[in-house]
Amino acid sequence: MTTFVLRRVLISVPVLWGVLTATFFGFRLIAGNPVDIILGTKGSAADRIRLYHELGLDRPLFSQYLDFLRGAIHFDFGASYATRQPVWNEISLRLPYTVELALTAFVVATLIGVVAGSVSALFSRRSLGHTVTFVSVLGISLPTYVLGTLLALVFGVDLHILPVAGPGDAKNLVLPSVTLAVPLAAVTTRLVRASMLQVLGMEFVRTARAKGVRRSFIIFKHVLRNALVPVVTILGLILANLLGGAIIVENVFNWPGLGTLAVNAAATRDYPVIEGTVFFFAVVLISANLIVDVVYGLIDPRIQHS
C-alpha cells in the first residue's frame, strides 16, 4: 500500500506543475495587463514604468516564472496587486464562505441523491421511478448558472421568499446551496440507482426473499448497505468538485467566497491571487483524487497492482 500511495503522489506532482504552468503563461499571454487596469487613463508614462518595476513585470518572463515556481514550492504567492495583502490572507478570509456553501450543498446533495436513487431503483418499472430518472437527467443537463438565475428570479424577485445576493443568515444560504447541490444530487441519484439495481439482482437478495424476510429489512439491511459502498468511495471527490463548482454559483449569488475572489482577480489581472486560488483548488482536487484512489485500493487490493 505504501508503494501504491507513493506512486500516486509522484504522479500528482507533474499534474500540479502543469496546472500552475498553464495558469502562469495563460494569463500573461491574453490581452490586458495589471498596470493598465490599475492606472487606467490617469497614469503617466513614468507612473506606468514605476508600477511595472514595483510589480516585477519588467523582468524577463522566464525569470518571473522561476520566481513563481520557487514561491509555489514554499506556498508563497506574494501579495495581491489590488489590496497589497498577502495572497494567503485573501484566501483565508474567503475560504470559510466557500466551505460553508460546499458543505451545505454536500449534505443536501447526499440526502437527496440517496433517497431519490433508492426510490428510482425500487420503482424502476413504474412511473415514479421513470419520473425520478427524468428529473435526475434534467438536473445533470441544466447548466448551473441557468439554474441559479431561474431560482433567483422565481424565489427572490417574483415571490420575495428568499434573498438572492450576499451573505447573511441561513436564508441567504438556501438558493446558492440548492443550486450547487442539484447537479451533484442528480449524479448521486444515478449512481445509487445503478448500484441498487445491481445489488437487487444478486443471489443473496433472492435468497432472503425466498426465506420470507421482510422487504423493508432486506432493503435497508442488505441492499442499501451494499449499494452505498461504491458511492461512499467517491464522496470525497464529489465534495472537491463542489469547491470547484462554487466558482460559478458564488458569482451568480454574489457570495464572497473563493469563487468570486478568483473571478475578480482574473478580471483585474491580479496574477498572484489567480495563481494562489488555482493552486488551492488544484491541491484540493488532486488530494481528493488521491484519497479516492487509496480507498479503492483498500477495498480492492487488485487495484494496487494495476
Cα–Cα distance, 34 to 258 (Å, whole number): 20
- The answer to whether the beta carbons of residues 83 and 90 sit under 8 Å apart is yes
Q: What's the whole-model pTM score? A: 0.80
Q: Which long-range contacts (CB under 8 A, 24 or more apart) does 278-285 make?
A: 278/19, 278/20, 278/23, 279/16, 279/20, 279/72, 279/77, 280/91, 281/243, 281/244, 282/15, 282/16, 282/19, 282/20, 283/16, 284/240, 284/243, 284/244, 285/240, 285/241, 285/243, 285/244
pLDDT score recorded for residue 239 = 72
Residue 96 cell numbers, joined? 470559510
What CATH topology corresponds to 1-30+94-306? MetI-like fold (1.10.3720)
Q: What per-residue confidence (pLDDT) applies to 88?
A: 92
Buried b / exposed e over 128-145, threshold 16 CB at 10 Å, is ebeebbebbeebeeeebe
Domain ranges (residues) in the chain: 1-30+94-306
Query: Could you report the average pLDDT of every consecutive run of 10 residues in the chain (306 residues)?
Result: 74 88 87 77 77 84 90 88 89 90 88 88 85 88 87 88 82 89 88 83 76 74 73 71 78 87 88 91 82 67 53
pLDDT of res. 21: 92
